[in-house]
Amino acid sequence: MIKMTPVLTLTALALCCSSALASGETLRVAADLTYPPFQYRDVNGKPTGFEIDITNAVCKAVAVKCEYVVSSFDAEIPSLMAKKVDFISPLGATEKRKKSIDFSHFIYHVPSQLVARKDTHLQPTAESLQGKNIAVQQGSIQEMYANKYWAPKGVEIKTYPDQDVIYQDLAAGRLDGALSPAVAVTFGFLQKPEGKEFALTGPEVRDDVIFSIGSAYGVRKGDEKTQKMLNEGLAKIMADGTWQKIKQHYFGDIEMKVTRTETANAAK
């Protein structure tokens, strides 16, 4: 039985400025720490990863304190709407999600691709995957795509609460493949010994309705204060080179920047 990640709160050690802490403003950030190299725990159990470092930099840029509230990915939007958190770590700014929440400006773009064993030669099509067990993360845009295009044509879609369990079942042979963010797979699972027999296969999976051109912070409908604060912080770290430095640290020369700068909430 797959267990859900326990909910706990960890304070980000992103701010060292006494004046920022003296302001007394704390923003609670929903995070799923089972998604390396974007979000995970370091050897001391503290939140780290590309998205965590970006968020810490954004919070520092606007002089607020960020506190991570950790849960499963599919619990993040309900937690935001229930006011248990103030914003959500980066997620795809899809049309479906825009009906429930608002978004900041875009932070980055990552393509979605199929990962499978090298010797299977599977392709990200319903014809190639018919009868196969393909994993997706619960509540993700990859789940939406697979349920729309693959499940009706005989592909067995298996949902998981986090990417780590997907990787475990791939390595154990309980899955034929997974539809996942390509960069997370490349710099996470494929870098590990258990991922050496796997590879990303086929082209990027796209859908103009389901997918967004980028990922952004999720905020509650009408929360213009938080949205404006995040956009201001993002603009600062983009301008001073902090975003590029963090991206380079985790992903090297891979291009992940979204060139359009309008609020994701207004993007089509």
Report percent pLDDT > 90 for the chain.
77
Helices 224-239/242-251 angle, 10° precision: 80
User: In the chain, what are the domain boundaries?
Assistant: 28-109+214-251, 112-205
In CATH, which of 3.30.70.270, 3.40.190.10, 3.90.1200.10, 3.40.50.720 is domain 28-109+214-251? Answer: 3.40.190.10
Nearest to 35 by CA among 133, 157, 165: 165
Size (the chain), residues: 268
Main-chain phi, psi angles of 234, to 5 degrees: -60, -45
**The whole model's pTM is what?**
0.74
Please, where are the H alpha helices in 73-178?
76-81, 95-98, 126-129, 141-145, 163-171
- Give the tens place of pLDDT for each residue, 168-224: 999 999 999 999 999 989 999 999 999 999 999 999 998 978 888 899 999 999 999
Report percent pLDDT > 70 for the chain.
88
- Topology of the domain covering 112-205: D-Maltodextrin-Binding Protein; domain 2 (3.40.190)
The rounded distance, in Å, linking the Cα atoms of 116 and 129 is: 11
User: Apex CA 142: angle with CA 139 and CA 148, to 5°?
Assistant: 95
What pLDDT, on the 0 to 100 scale, is given for residue 17?
37
**Three-state SS for 128?**
helix
- Across the range 93-106, mean pLDDT stands at 94
Q: Do 28-109+214-251 and 112-205 come out as alike in CATH topology?
A: yes
Main-chain phi, psi angles of 71, to 5 degrees: -155, -175
What pLDDT, on the 0 to 100 scale, is given for residue 226?
97
- Give the tens place of pLDDT for each residue, 125-170: 999 999 999 999 999 999 999 999 999 999 999 999 989 999 999 9
Buried b (16+ CB within 10 A) or exposed e, 101-113: bbbbbbbbbbebb
The rounded distance, in Å, linking the Cα atoms of 157 and 159 is: 7
